[in-house]
Amino acid sequence: MTEPLRRPKRKNPLRRTRLPLLPPSGRSRVGLGLTAAAALGRFELQVCRVCNNVQYPPREACHRCLSLLLDWKLQSGEGELISETTLAHSNDEFFRERLPWRLGMIRLDCGPTVVAHLHGDVAPAPTRVIVSARLDRAGQAALIAMPAQELSNMADDKQLREMTCDPKFRKALVTDAKTATGQALVRALVAAGADIVWAGYAEPWKKAPGMDELKELAPVTLLPLDVTSSDSVRETAAEIGAKVDILINNAELHRTYGISARHGVETARAEMDINYFGLLRLAQEFGPVMRARGADGQSSATAWVNVLSIYALSNFPAHGTFSASKAAAYSLSQCLRAEMQLAGVRVVNVFPGPIDDEWNQTLPPPKLNPSTLARAIVKALQDGIEDVYPGDVAQEWLARWRENPKVLERELAHL
Ligand SMILES: [Zn+2]
């Protein structure tokens, strides 16, 4: 059984932080299909449309009938561990720092035999396991076999933790704790065992309900932070930046209407100032310090979460300028992801559908409850997922957008 994780000892400030190393990250174009599915928490393999054969490793043509018609399809991952080994030596620098390392060969029930990392609780071969595809520190899919039955403390396994961003014993910053979503996020992080949760708040003269209750929670520290002010972001980063392991940027300004229902650009500019420039300010100040701590022991800097919107994928004209600001933030967060990946810090993009708040008051249900959203975000960190589409509305939009973005654009124009 996995040893439960212990609270890490205080860091010796005189010791140099190790440089982050990455596992081998080269993948073929077709191999990236495995990564794309793993980013959503899915284990998909190619299935031949002609002979139904399941393929592994990913390839251009079916290994049985040479057909080029291969479709990525969800797999259960069930199989049998047939042999295993524990590496005591590696020529790869990333794994050399993490030895010993357990690997196994698994015959999947769907056909292929794969080599995968082995969770510490997997019994010696032969035994039943469940294989899943997870993103490794380089942001690429890697296979890991887990025991077929859930055991206690499984998330604390050393090899699994290299692929997840579990908030347990980590220090997290939530940029705006004044909103219902922000407060739900703070509470969800506390429930997940976070060591410290800094709860940011702007405009201290405006009292927000719920803040006093938040302050009563032991790991929570309220922190003045205004993402529209470069000085405020810089000062906050100087104060706590070197300690933040998980940053959740949920600060947003949301106003309804599109272009013609409003005069001037002030509202749209204010949305951009928080939703887009706010992210940019945070990324410039917190990005470099978090990158430097990508390999800082058990509780390294591990994840940056952006709460975007499903409207970032395709403009929802009834919330037109808000959609545009979220599309800009989405594009910027792809840039941030590419930069943070070099240090093994994961950027998680969250695309919620309409949240049950005052700005979506006129929209019909279903709407996303803030605590459901917060739990989905914490679960994504625990599972190591990179793109999250919480709720029915987001899932449906995503499916329609993937099927045909142009059709979705036309449908949204008439909502
Ligand atoms: Zn075939």
Instruction: Quote the CA–CA distance of 306 and 249 in Å, as a whole number.
Output: 5
Report the mean per-residue pLDDT for the chain. Answer: 93
Residue 104 CA to ligand 1 centre (angstroms): 27
Query: 311 near 323, Cβ under 8 Å?
Result: yes
pLDDT (0 to 100) of residue 363: 79
pLDDT (tens digit per residue) in 5-50:
888 777 777 777 778 888 998 999 999 999 999 999 999 999 999 9
pLDDT tens readout for residues 322-332: 999 999 999 99
Q: pTM score, two decimals?
A: 0.94
- H or E segment to which residue 369 belongs: none
In this predicted model, what pLDDT tens digit does every residue of 139-185 receive, in sequence order? 999 999 999 998 888 888 989 999 999 999 999 999 999 999 999 99
By CB neighbour count within 10 A (0-12 exposed, 13-18 middle, 19+ buried), where does 233 fall?
buried
* pLDDT reported for residue 298: 74
pLDDT digits (tens, 9 = 90+) for 281-300: 999 999 999 999 888 777 78
Report the separation in Å between the CA atom of 47 and the middle of ligand 1, taken as the mean of its atom positions. Answer: 8
Give residue-wise pLDDT tens across range 347-367: 999 999 998 887 778 777 888
Per-residue pLDDT at 206: 86
Structure-derived torsion over alpha carbons of residues 272, 274, 276, 279, reported in degrees to the nearest 10: 170
Token digits of residue 316? 């929802």
Q: Give the β-pairing of 44-48 and 54-55.
A: antiparallel
Residue 305 has which token pair?
Answer: 């979460």
Ligand 1 mean position, distance from CA 270 (Å): 55
Report pLDDT for 136.
95
Confidence at residue 208, expressed as pLDDT on a 0 to 100 scale: 86
Expressed in angstroms and rounded, the spacing between residue 126 Cα and the centre of ligand 1 is 29
pLDDT tens digits for range 252-262: 999 988 898 88
Ion ligand 1 neighbours (CB, 5 A) are: 48, 50-51, 53, 62, 64-65, 67
Cα 53 to averaged position of ligand 1 atoms, centre (Å): 6
